[in-house]
Structure 1
């Protein structure tokens, strides 16, 4: 349930009533601060039964009278607001000059309602008093707001709106009133628990909620219903506002929400529109964020002085205008002055090796990359020339496959090979439902990566099948024109496994591999394939699979020795006993091990917090765990299969097992199927629901 943003406290000018509402307001605002709701509860005081015939008493009870020991209600509310909202100053004079409900004895009896009976709306009527208060309640962010010009005033004259406000009367209890209906649906995507992301998200929520239906993920219980709600809200949104800071660009949930919005926009005539806001972040977007965001407009926020301008810019963008960074030149100017990410100082033992954030593909020169025995084999294989090679890198999600692929590509470049890298998760969803556009896009994309002129239309005019056209295009145009070795590196190939043309595509790749034996030009082509899902269960004829020929590298979790070595590279934030504890918790999960060591080495959390808050939604792994829920919630078979694994250590459906293993959630030991690590077992046992 969405709790109210505004609390109206109605009081009469006497000590009992005034003391009661002041205490209530203080308790209510304190409770809101301690809750999971990020929004502050804004109190609107409403003095009532003000007797116009007693001007002296009216002044004393408003401004105070020390001789009569009367503390004025205006001064008391100003002091209260400065305390609970951390204001340096607060002046309610303009507010209380307009907001006082006068006493009219007639309405003390019976059921008459002044606003329905009075024909006059002059300044002495109750109707005017109620209207004046309602306008401020609806249009002001808070009582000390001086009524800045409202950019939506013209629209308000043409549309009807509603908004919830909780009205509290010290003598009559509670009631809910509705006044406004929001015009647009907006989803705010941000990283929880970090600054400035969370405070800015709240300010955007407050500003836009006055005129729109805005969703912010902060109050729901995490679990499958939570993930369903996130997807439903993004699907229904007109806009997705994404806050991108040095920390949030590495958030799996922020990336997941952007990915979903991007793919939904392809299906839903461009909605939701993504509005990226860089929060004092000047670095180029890393892949895959760059693929989603570089081609659209951005906004930039540097510090608190920019907040008002940013809110106006968002209001204008929602009204149909563009964000300010709308040209390649303006974007380039922003990222030219890139500043390093600021993190807490590392432990003394780690000073000589600057820490690296654990997210994303690792740099080829990273000192934190853990080499496995097969790495050397992969690098030496790709550097072979004159024969053509096929390398398949397999392993669950976040095992280091893409980082090994980057090293493989780098090794190929050093011996003069051209490289074309295709990430299949970037294929349009429409292309993945129809072979004709898929094969055309594949050829067009490959041509673009090689910076060659496209001849796709000419080859597609031939009366041949898609695989034949694609093969001729590669053989007779791309390889022939290049005249030099080419590495075709393909990541996230599991994106094709659910298509009805997967056998055609993969058998085509296998035929390219086989053709090296009979046609010299195919020896110019190396294939580097990366997949997280076991392909053997999804390809009908294994003799047509490209994944079981050439060099096949199956990545596994870190051993204890590899994890201990990585701990040393981080300055040994964990002692020997804690290393064992981390191994028991994570089972050598490469990404989670790096994250744990990074957070403790940079002193962002203590070791006690690392283990004590491991399965908390806002803990060290919360973003990662929530992302898995988000990706799995609508896949009933996977949820049921994973629950079988957690409860009984079995998975009856072999295809479900391979998908769960590809997602990095389970592992097999002999005939027993286990959660990949104890962290997953503990968290998903609590949060998964059928």
Structure 2
């Protein structure tokens, strides 16, 4: 029996539509899971969601304006894509709920849903046709007119509502192979997705795009980056925890470089399938071909990849003899989500050594002087590397700090909030100067969705504005017991705690802790209060 996981935001119309699909799939004889309907009181929801994601064959994503900025929904999509890369399932069926196709998605969702066809739901009149299409794809049969399996439509033949009873041999025909379903779904009423922009904004929903009035500069960081990227053979390293604005800064560096006559190419390792990291040769072929594709140059790997030479030499030749030769302008290559490479030691040392070699060649080679590199990552570089082969100890290092009180005050003013220093201090007392959490608070307060008092009262709870953000962190911790144990050490004391280096770096990259010398402490009262309640030591 096929199983369908329904991902949605717990607000209408998302919630009622999810319930309708859930009931319809069950009536058709399939297993359907939606958190609000399927998780019992007192059950460990994080473990149950993990279990259902691993069991499901299909992942139905209800993508609305609200769910598109939900961290839990984004995390469910990330996990579903990860499982699909590893096991071949689940298949993803994204449905836009009153959320037009040309409405922008956040950086993470754009990467996860790239090249996956999406459908649009405008009203209840669309529900049955979408359900029938999905049902037909699962069952490999032509959509039927509204009868036994139609949503909320009575039938004259009650037995027909249970096809396994009427015709057991036809109840659940063999499902299509995933590639076949993917092809069928793509062939139906193809909708052109908007191209990926050069600027890759991060959460929250209010995009910090190039024209946004809510982008907060953190002097002198931007000026130093602009000065550096103007230099031949430049290398800039941007490091900060998640949701600190790394990609927003990267997009501005790209724009400045383009204004100086450079071609800008952003490449995120997040979009690479897990098989790409299987070995160095496969990885470097993907890397070289991906850069060429973004430059709109034909794939000529066969002409430059020779087994007699090593993978690094082949990749260098591809850039040196083909890509850079084809360009009349300098190339600025921005590598985002570099942390994903850290997880694969067999690749990391060789790849980062290659980048360092290219940077060094830029000091003497006129051709490589035209190559400029921006590397963006969240974690400390905890992998062992030869200091003479690492790109992480050369170039311009940039570490993004939290917003200062003055910057939060300025941002509040831009939102039309006439706050005094006491109000700024109260907000920062809960969330610090975390750019995402500050912007989320100011956005909803400015809209009248809540007040500062109401926000602070419920902030460290799952019922509050940050509930989605906190649940995502809790889910991640419960997937890594060693990190959950480390957080339990932190909640047991008011003092900073010394943790193993890798755990400290990982928690810092998640944005949960600050590095205090050789120790760590919670980054904000929000995390301390929430995890003290949810991760009490047994």
Q: Shared fold by TM > 0.5?
A: yes
- 1:461 matched residue in structure 2: 306
Query: Could you say if the C-alpha distance between residues 676 and 320 of structure 1 is closer, same or farther in structure 2, counting changes exceeding 3 Å?
Result: farther
**Cα displacement string for residues 100-121 of structure 1 (whole angstroms, at most 9, x for unaligned residues):** xxxxxxxxxxxxxxxxxxxxxx
Contact 1:223 1:688 in 2 (8 A): no
Contact 2:332 2:374 in 1 (8 A): yes
Q: Among 639, 655, 660, which residue is 2:502 paired with?
A: 655
**Structure 1 segments (4+ residues) deviating >6 Å:** 221-224, 322-325
Contact 2:484 2:535 in 1 (8 A): yes
Contact 2:504 2:515 in 1 (8 A): no
TM-score by length of 2: 0.84
User: Matched residue of 2:479: which SS?
Assistant: coil
Q: Say if 2:503 is the partner of 1:669.
A: no
Contact 2:491 2:536 in 1 (8 A): no
- Please provide the CA RMSD for this pair: 2.5
Contact 1:395 1:533 in 2 (8 A): yes
**Cα displacement string for residues 332-371 of structure 1 (whole angstroms, at most 9, x for unaligned residues):** 4x989xxxxxxxxxxxxxxxxxxx9833752111111110
**Cα displacement string for residues 378-418 of structure 1 (whole angstroms, at most 9, x for unaligned residues):** 1232234xx22000111111111000000001111111211
What's the offset of the Cα at 1:221? Answer: 8.0
Q: Say if 2:370 is the partner of 1:524.
A: yes
Moved more, 550-559 or 680-689: 680-689
Q: Among 359, 377, 402, which residue is 2:224 paired with?
A: 377
**Cα displacement string for residues 239-283 of structure 1 (whole angstroms, at most 9, x for unaligned residues):** 1000001121121221221122122112213x1011111101113
What's the offset of the Cα at 1:424? Answer: 0.7
Q: Say if 2:205 is the partner of 1:359.
A: yes
CA distance in 2, matches of 1:328, 1:483: 41
Q: Say if 2:214 is the partner of 1:368.
A: yes
CA distance in 2, matches of 1:365, 1:418: 20
Q: How does 1:249-648 map to 2 (within 5 A)?
A: 249-269=68-88, 271-282=89-100, 283-286=102-105, 287-320=107-140, 326-327=186-187, 330-332=190-192, 358-359=204-205, 362-373=208-219, 374-384=221-231, 387-499=232-344, 500-535=346-381, 537-572=382-417, 574-648=419-493
Is there any run of 5+ residues in structure 1 with no aligned partner, and where? Answer: 1-182, 337-355
CA distance in 2, matches of 1:259, 1:515: 37
What's the offset of the Cα at 1:329? Answer: 7.1
**Cα displacement string for residues 144-166 of structure 1 (whole angstroms, at most 9, x for unaligned residues):** xxxxxxxxxxxxxxxxxxxxxxx
Corresponding residue pairs, total: 483
**Cα displacement string for residues 4-45 of structure 1 (whole angstroms, at most 9, x for unaligned residues):** xxxxxxxxxxxxxxxxxxxxxxxxxxxxxxxxxxxxxxxxxx
Of structures 1 and 2, the one scoring higher in RCO (CA 8 A, sep 6+) is 2
Q: Say if 2:2 is the partner of 1:184.
A: yes
User: Matched residue of 1:393: which SS?
Assistant: strand
Q: Say if 2:66 is the partner of 1:247.
A: yes
What's the offset of the Cα at 1:328? Answer: 9.3
CA distance in 1, matches of 2:233, 2:280: 27
CA distance in 1, matches of 2:340, 2:463: 31
Contact 1:191 1:198 in 2 (8 A): yes
CA distance in 2, matches of 1:229, 1:518: 57
Is there any run of 5+ residues in structure 2 with no aligned partner, and where? Answer: 142-180, 196-201
Structure exhibiting the larger radius of gyration computed from Cα positions: 1
Contact 1:187 1:214 in 2 (8 A): yes
Contact 1:539 1:545 in 2 (8 A): no
What's the offset of the Cα at 1:296? Answer: 2.5
Query: Could you say if the C-alpha distance between residues 541 and 643 of structure 1 is closer, same or farther in structure 2, counting changes exceeding 3 Å?
Result: farther
Contact 2:233 2:363 in 1 (8 A): no
Contact 2:483 2:507 in 1 (8 A): yes
